Amino acid sequence: GDSVTQTEGLVTLTEGLPVMLNCTYQSTYSPFLFWYVQHLNEAPKLLLKSFTDNKRPEHQGFHATLHKSSSSFHLQKSSAQLSDSALYYCALSERNYGSSGNKLIFGIGTLLSVKP
Amino acid sequence: EAAVTQSPRNKVAVTGGKVTLSCNQTNNHNNMYWYRQDTGHGLRLIHYSYGAGSTEKGDIPDGYKASRPSQENFSLILELATPSQTSVYFCASGDAASGDGNTLYFGEGSRLIVV
């Protein structure tokens, strides 16, 4: 079945350094990919999602590129900020809107901790 | 702004008791979901619904029931609560008909402790 893999449980960075959070996936069909962010004691909310064309989604300085050849959708940012400290989830949704096509499948999450 | 509200926000239940978690959305979305969040497991899908009157099993449905009496409301029911069901539960709504995926809007979460 479909799955999402986030290999790092915790990433600790110094403010100003680049961020890269890994996400790979397995899917029967060509899926939509998402990054959700959850700050402490808050609800998860959408950070960015893959487009149907080849545009690279960007939001709040974060960007991610969908690479179908390697089944990856890594999240990147050029310079980490203290406020980026949060739990980040990669997720996928199938494009085939059949009986299971409306499910969003999440990875286990990566906790990003940015230090001064 | 999308609005999903959950109640109760915090609940302590006894083993063997019945627990109902409620969710209301004002987004007019067809799809609603219940996830539980646990460290090391991320967000796991329990039940979901395509519309009023429908419920579908997610990836971990055992021990849970769901009810979707209307477009706006989706409940998660634990008939016989167990300590293993201690978790944070998130409700979400989404509209897959948008054509660009299935963006979900989450509620603030319900923290359940079963003692």
More confident position, B40 or B61? B61
Q: The domain containing residue A33 runs over which residues?
A: 3-115
8-state DSSP, A72: B
Q: Taking CA atoms, what residue in A is nearest to B45?
A: A105
pLDDT at A37 (0 to 100): 97
What does the buried/exposed string (b/e) look like for B95-112 if buried means 16 or more CB atoms within 10 Å of the residue's CB? bbeeeebbbbbbbbbbbb
pLDDT at A100 (0 to 100): 47
CA distance B4 to chain A (A): 10
What's the whole-number mean pLDDT along residues B64-85? 97
A 19-58 residues with CB < 8 A to B = 32, 34, 36, 42-46, 49-52
B 12-31 residues with CB < 8 A to A = 31
pLDDT at A95 (0 to 100): 62
Residue contact B102–A93, C-beta within 8 A: yes
Residue contact A43–B31, C-beta within 8 A: no
CA distance B96 to chain A (A): 6
CATH label of the domain that carries residue A30: 2.60.40.10
pLDDT exceeds cutoff 90 at A66:
no
A108 → closest Cβ in B41, B59, B96 = B41
Q: The domain containing residue B48 runs over which residues?
A: 4-114
Number of domains comprising chain A: 1
* A96/A76 Cα distance (integer angstroms): 28
Residue B82, chain A, CB below 8 Å: the answer is: no
Predicted confidence (pLDDT) per residue in B75-104, tens digit: 999 999 999 999 999 999 987 665 556 788
> What is the C-alpha end-to-end distance of chain A, expressed in Å?
41
Number of domains comprising chain B: 1
What's the whole-number mean pLDDT along residues B65-73? 97
CATH label of the domain that carries residue B55: 2.60.40.10
B13 CA to centre of own chain:
17
